[in-house]
Amino acid sequence: MSTETQLREKLCLLARSMFDRGLTAGSSGNISVRTEDGGLLVSPTGTSFGRLDPARLSRFDAAGRHIDGDRPTKEMPLHSAFYETRSRTAAVVHLHSCHAVALSTLPQADEDDFLPPITPYALMQLGRVKLLPYFCPGDPAMGDAVRSLAGRRSAVMLANHGPVVAGLDLEAACNAIEELEATARLAMLLRGTTPQMLSPQQVAELQRIHDVAWGEA
């Protein structure tokens, strides 16, 4: 497992990469990673993904107490809910990515299966994505909504807000949320057309081969 210093540097590096490619903007978005001692490193509140300082990340101990660094993101209820309900979670990423947010506002958005089956890649990395209703940023009810899924989903989409993804490590979580945004972008590009989606049989095959999170919610 990576040392804490390595985790701090990797978290900031991956966050900067997402910022540089326009996946989040300004001081939006937040990211966390599990440390070797069971604690967490978390991006501080009001900070930009493009300018995170490894030395100033919020540090939590294994009991969930903030013990060092700047004040953490107000979206901690989201992060905590994933760590509490999915035991294998080692990182959580939340973005305000443009196309995913746009897709979440459309009346035909499917609450239980937010992303259309356009390519296999989002299915492989995310399974089915649950669309949750709008919550005021920082509302603890967001964490309650994730807990209500009982760990059955690795990713949710907050309507009019942004996606949240839990991963087995930092890179997996970042890769998956980028795939979520890419699929949402494809869905927006295809609006008004009649594309050929993956068939239910093809989707079921991906589910079986990759053992993705597919639980009913």
Amino acid (one-letter) located at 214: W
Please give the domain boundaries of the chain with CATH numbers for all domains. 4-210 (3.40.225.10)
Q: pLDDT value at position 211?
A: 77
Q: How many Å apart are CA 93 and CA 110, to the nearest integer?
A: 22
Please provide residue 178's backbone torsions phi and psi, each rounded to the nearest 5 degrees: -65, -40
Give the Cα separation of 117 and 115 in Å (integer): 6
pTM score of the predicted model: 0.95
Average pLDDT along the chain, 217 residues, taken 10 residues at a time: 92 98 95 97 97 98 96 96 96 98 95 96 94 95 97 96 97 97 98 95 91 59
Q: Which helix H or strand E contains 22, and what residues bound it? A: none
Q: What is the pLDDT of residue 212?
A: 75
Tokens linked to 109:
């958005």
Report the C-alpha dihedral over residues 164, 169, 170, 171, rounded to 10 degrees: -100
Residues marked as catalytic: 75, 121
